[in-house]
């Protein structure tokens, strides 16, 4: 059941708290051993009690079970970020999004598996083992919000929160049949999100239908004085507009299909087919779809620019994990200098991908290389934003892929950084530019429901929900949950 219906049925007493919570835990017992979506799972009894209380208090998501990515602070639970470095770190406070979830009556069921410090595209850099794609266990679900996507697609939670620095909500959503949204930079507070590359990332919702996605965004979005990059803006009415799209379509709206991706060698033919199908479906709902090119300079340089900026910021943000401020505190050896202690802890508790990025990031910021890499990447970032805004001037949204290939098999790309980074080709555009981006499932390809992406203007979330509603109505892709037998 979608969250909006769970809330309604629980409130009316048509389904009991025991039945709802029980059915979710039953799925967890059956499926979690083969999927590995959770790093921390709360006990059924504790969660049941909280759901009961929430239903009696009421609220927009009263009683609904939400899985939360393990880089978001939930007071009293561990925040491992998928790393050994934070294995025993317990959140001393709630992130703003969690505070707002609680106010809405939603209940956190557990913390989900993820690529270490959100660095990865497949879920395989986690120190807690890879998460598997519930639709095909030999394949990855996509990352870095791998556990959040797998949990919702497997019915082990009704909704989930992820974070998206360079596609980490959208890539796993598009490989598991979910709706996912990377909000406009500044719409959702990052207070309590463990930073990886803070100028690029946002927390966002993941759900099995567009109305649920909108409801969850409504709950978590809005100005927060605790985040200096938070926007003072109205963040209501998303669910209403998603329903409007579902019921009435999105007539008179204009969408540009970004045609570079129809020819790009990095985009698989299946994905090209999905893009064309999505264009047709939108067309059938009254949307006017035309084509335009983004240009090679944007498509070719966005990805390297993203990785330069992300690694540079990561090298600075991850400096705090030194075994003194954060991380395991070990007894220093009597002869050990500060630098030796610091190096020993970091070498021991960080994984390979994280270490690689810290080293590359520090190097790219060092004197001599800063202008050659970091400053140049910032210029490309500006170019990307300007070009996207130029294309968006005359239309409501851009249609492009999210995932550019089908999900790889476990082990297929994780040891080859170039292949892994190439999966983010289309997703990084929205992060570099701060623009909002929605992923919606379009069709099944070899049994796996796969999505495409719509990008709109700054704070254009409403238009994305309108178009997303129309697309859901046209595709009928909703409530996709793996069967348990």
Nearer to ligand GLN, 98 or 118 (CB): 118
| Bond prior to 144 in cis (omega within 30° of 0) | yes
State the sign of the Cα–Cα–Cα–Cα dihedral 67, 226, 217, 436.
Answer: negative
In angstroms, what is the minimal distance from the CB of 227 to ligand GLN?
A: 18
Of 72, 119, 213, 241, which lies in the binding site for ligand GLN, with binding defined by CB under 6 A? Answer: 119
Measure the CA–CA gap between 465 and 276, rounded to whole angstroms. 20
Tell me, by CB under 6 A, how many residues bind ligand GLN.
13
In angstroms, what is the minimal distance from the CB of 73 to ligand GLN?
A: 17
The residue written with tokens 């570079």 in the block is 260
Instruction: Tell me if 124 contacts ligand GLN by CB under 6 A.
Output: no
In angstroms, what is the minimal distance from the CB of 77 to ligand GLN?
A: 20
Instruction: Tell me if 384 contacts ligand GLN by CB under 6 A.
Output: no
Measure the CA–CA gap between 434 and 186, rounded to whole angstroms. 8
Catalytic residue among 144, 189, 230, 433: 144
| CB-CB neighbours of 259 under 10 Å | 16
Of 206, 310, 410, 454, which lies in the binding site for ligand GLN, with binding defined by CB under 6 A? Answer: 310
Of 110, 155, 167, 361, which lies in the binding site for ligand GLN, with binding defined by CB under 6 A? Answer: 167
Nearer to ligand GLN, 168 or 405 (CB): 168
- Binding string to ligand GLN for residues 139 to 158, with x set by CB under 6 A, is what? -----x--------------
Instruction: Tell me if 204 contacts ligand GLN by CB under 6 A.
Output: no
Measure the CA–CA gap between 308 and 411, rounded to whole angstroms. 25
The span of 163-171, 332-340, 394-402, 472-480 binding ligand GLN (CB under 6 A) equals 163-171
In angstroms, what is the minimal distance from the CB of 378 to ligand GLN?
A: 17
Task: Answer yes or no: are the C-beta atoms of 165 and 145 closer than 8 Å.
Answer: no
Catalogue the long-range contacts made by 97-101 (C-beta closer than 8 Å, 24 or more residues apart). Answer: 97/72, 97/161, 97/188, 97/189, 97/192, 97/193, 97/203, 97/220, 98/68, 98/72, 98/73, 98/74, 98/192, 100/219, 100/220, 100/222, 101/61, 101/66, 101/161, 101/219, 101/220
Instruction: Based on the residue annotation, tell me whether 348 is a catalytic residue of this protein.
Output: no
Instruction: Tell me if 164 contacts ligand GLN by CB under 6 A.
Output: yes
Instruction: Based on the residue annotation, tell me whether 379 is a catalytic residue of this protein.
Output: no
The span of 43-51, 91-99, 164-172, 435-443 binding ligand GLN (CB under 6 A) equals 164-172
Measure the CA–CA gap between 201 and 219, rounded to whole angstroms. 19
State the sign of the Cα–Cα–Cα–Cα dihedral 281, 282, 285, 286.
Answer: negative
Instruction: Tell me if 414 contacts ligand GLN by CB under 6 A.
Output: no
Task: Answer yes or no: are the C-beta atoms of 183 and 152 closer than 8 Å.
Answer: no
Of 165, 405, 433, 456, which lies in the binding site for ligand GLN, with binding defined by CB under 6 A? Answer: 165
Name the strand (E) or helix (H) holding 291. strand 288-292
Catalytic residue among 168, 189, 195, 315: 168
Instruction: Based on the residue annotation, tell me whether 144 is a catalytic residue of this protein.
Output: yes
Nearer to ligand GLN, 140 or 345 (CB): 140
Alpha helices in 43-169 (DSSP H): 44-57, 96-103, 146-153
The residue written with tokens 């254009």 in the block is 460
Non-local CB neighbours of 90 within 8 Å, separated by 6+ positions: 76, 77, 78, 79
In angstroms, what is the minimal distance from the CB of 431 to ligand GLN?
A: 7
The span of 34-42, 46-54, 113-121, 244-252 binding ligand GLN (CB under 6 A) equals 113-121
In angstroms, what is the minimal distance from the CB of 21 to ligand GLN?
A: 30
Nearer to ligand GLN, 423 or 464 (CB): 423
Instruction: Tell me if 469 contacts ligand GLN by CB under 6 A.
Output: no
SS3 letters across 398-448: EEEECCCCCCCECCCCCCCHHHHHHCCCCCHHHHHHCCCEEEEEEEEECCE
In angstroms, what is the minimal distance from the CB of 365 to ligand GLN?
A: 17
> φ and ψ at 257, to 5 degrees?
-80, 125
Which residues, listed in sequence order, are joined to residue 450 by a DSSP beta bridge?
443
Nearer to ligand GLN, 171 or 298 (CB): 171
- Binding string to ligand GLN for residues 325 to 364, with x set by CB under 6 A, is what? ----------------------------------------
Q: Which residues bind ligand GLN (CB under 6 A)?
A: 118-121, 144, 164-168, 196, 310, 424
Residues carrying an active site annotation: 69, 144, 168
């Amino acid at each position: 059941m979608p969250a909006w219906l769970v809330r309604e049925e629980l409130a009316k007493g048509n389904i009991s708290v025991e039945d709802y919570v029980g059915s979710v835990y039953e799925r967890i017992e059956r499926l979690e051993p083969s999927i590995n979506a959770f790093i921390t799972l709360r006990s059924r009894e504790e969660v049941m009690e909280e759901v009961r209380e929430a239903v009696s208090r009421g609220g927009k998501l009263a009683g609904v079970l939400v899985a939360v990515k393990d880089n978001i602070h939930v007071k009293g639970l561990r925040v491992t970020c998928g790393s050994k470095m934070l294995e025993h770190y317990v959140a001393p406070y709630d992130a703003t999004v969690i505070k707002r979830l609680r106010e809405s009556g939603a209940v956190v069921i557990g913390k989900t598996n993820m690529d270490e410090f959100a660095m990865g595209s497949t879920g395989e850099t986690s120190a807690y083992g890879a998460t598997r794609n519930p639709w095909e266990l030999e394949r990855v679900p996509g990352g870095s919000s791998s556990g959040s996507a797998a949990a919702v697609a497997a019915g082990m939670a009704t909704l989930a929160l992820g974070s998206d620095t360079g596609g980490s909500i959208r890539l796993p959503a598009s490989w598991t049949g979910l709706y996912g949204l990377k909000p406009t930079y500044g719409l959702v507070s990052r207070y309590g999100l463990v930073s990886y590359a803070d100028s690029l990332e946002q927390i966002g919702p993941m759900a099995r239908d567009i109305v649920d996605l909108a409801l969850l965004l409504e709950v978590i979005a809005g100005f927060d004085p605790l985040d200096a990059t938070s926007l003072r803006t109205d963040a209501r009415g998303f669910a209403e507009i998603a329903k409007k799209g579902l019921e009435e379509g999105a007539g008179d709206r204009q969408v540009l299909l970004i045609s570079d991706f129809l020819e790009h060698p990095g985009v698989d033919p299946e994905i090209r087919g999905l893009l064309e199908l999505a264009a047709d479906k939108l067309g059938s709902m009254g949307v006017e779809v035309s084509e335009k090119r983004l240009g090679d300079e944007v498509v070719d340089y966005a990805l390297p620019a993203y990785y330069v900026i992300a690694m540079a910021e990561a090298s600075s943000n991850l400096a705090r994990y030194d075994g003194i401020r954060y991380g395991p505190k070990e007894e220093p050896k009597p002869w050990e200098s500060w630098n030796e202690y610091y190096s020993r802890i970091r070498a021991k508790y960080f994984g390979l991908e994280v270490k690689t990025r810290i080293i590359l990031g520090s190097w790219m910021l060092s004197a001599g290389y800063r202008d050659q890499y970091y400053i140049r990447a910032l210029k490309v970032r500006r170019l990307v934003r300007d070009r996207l805004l130029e294309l968006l001037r005359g239309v409501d949204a851009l249609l492009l892929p999210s995932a550019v290939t089908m999900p790889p098999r476990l082990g297929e790309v994780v040891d080859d950084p170039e292949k892994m980074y190439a999966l983010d080709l289309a997703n990084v555009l929205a992060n570099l530019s701060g623009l909002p981006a929605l992923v919606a499932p379009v069709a099944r390809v070899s049994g796996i429901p796969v999505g495409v992406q719509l990008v709109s203007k700054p704070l254009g979330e409403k238009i994305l929900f309108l178009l997303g509603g129309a697309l859901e109505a046209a595709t009928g892709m909703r409530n996709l949950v793996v069967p348990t037998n």
